[in-house]
Structure 1
Amino acid sequence: MCLEKGDLLLNENDVWLGTIHGCEFFMSKDQFEYWKHTHLTVDVTKGRGSSFSLEIPMGVRFVIKSRMFKPEEYESLSPVKYGEEFID
């Protein structure tokens, strides 16, 4: 979901993955543990998003595509941030 900055209450259980067009992208620690071996691509397509995400009024929705990292890609990843700490 896409939320206004400040609408998502973050804590030590959230992992910062990076930014997309200047917007920060997070997922929960549990989700990250499951997905950490995958390359995630966030795409946009026409359609209706879910819940109260900001893309709904624009008539678009987000689609996450994934694939497993190749061994050399996985080895070259930068650490991600849990809360205020970076981890490998």
Structure 2
Amino acid sequence: MIMPTPPSRVSATPQATDRIERLQARHGPVLLHQSGGCCDGSAPMCLTVAEFIVGDSDVLLGHLAGAPVYMGRSQFTYWQHTHLVIDAVPGQGAMFSLDSGTGWHFVARPRPLSDEESNALPSL
């Protein structure tokens, strides 16, 4: 019997996957943290694993190209019924994000989860 693939809370476009892989090749292990809207809007920040301390208030949404993707729990309360599609587009990255100065930056494109997807996801 083939088991269906469970839905996910986060996915990446091919452009974002390419950018994550390039940043990993240059900087080592990285993670993405969906910003809460301060300073750099709500852009996903890409940081080295060593420079970001994951705390109890961070929710792991999933992994993209091997990189964990987190969001603060208070923000997750509002976004828990969405699927985030992480994309990379030409432009200036967030000041503290590793994509700054590369000519590309990450953006999050949320879409509502269907009732079926929501029911199949584990609660976090």
* Category of TM-score, reference length = shorter chain: 0.7 to 0.9
Which residue among 82, 90, 103 is the counterpart of 1:46? Answer: 90
Tell me the residue number matched to 1:34.
78
The residue correspondences of 1:1-88 to structure 2 (distance < 5 A) are 1-79=45-123, 87=124
Q: How many residues align?
A: 80
Letter in 2 for 1:11: G
RMSD between aligned residues:
1.1
Q: Structure 2, unaligned stretches of length 5 or more?
A: 1-44
Distance 1:6 1:20 in 2: 18
Please state which structure has a larger fraction of its residues in strand.
1
> What is the CA–CA distance in structure 1 between the aligned matches of 2:94 and 2:100, rounded to whole Å?
7
Offset at residue 4 of structure 1 (A): 0.7
Deviation at 1:42, TM superposition (A): 0.3
Q: Percent identity?
A: 38
Aligned-pair distance for 1:51? 1.6
Instruction: Point out where structure 1 has 5 or more consecutive residues left out of the alignment.
Output: 80-86
Normalising by structure 2, what TM-score? 0.61
Runs ≥4 residues deviating over 3 A: none
Deviation digits for residues 23-81 of structure 1, max 9, x if unmatched? Answer: 111110001111000111000001001121001132100110011111111101134xx
More helix by share: 2
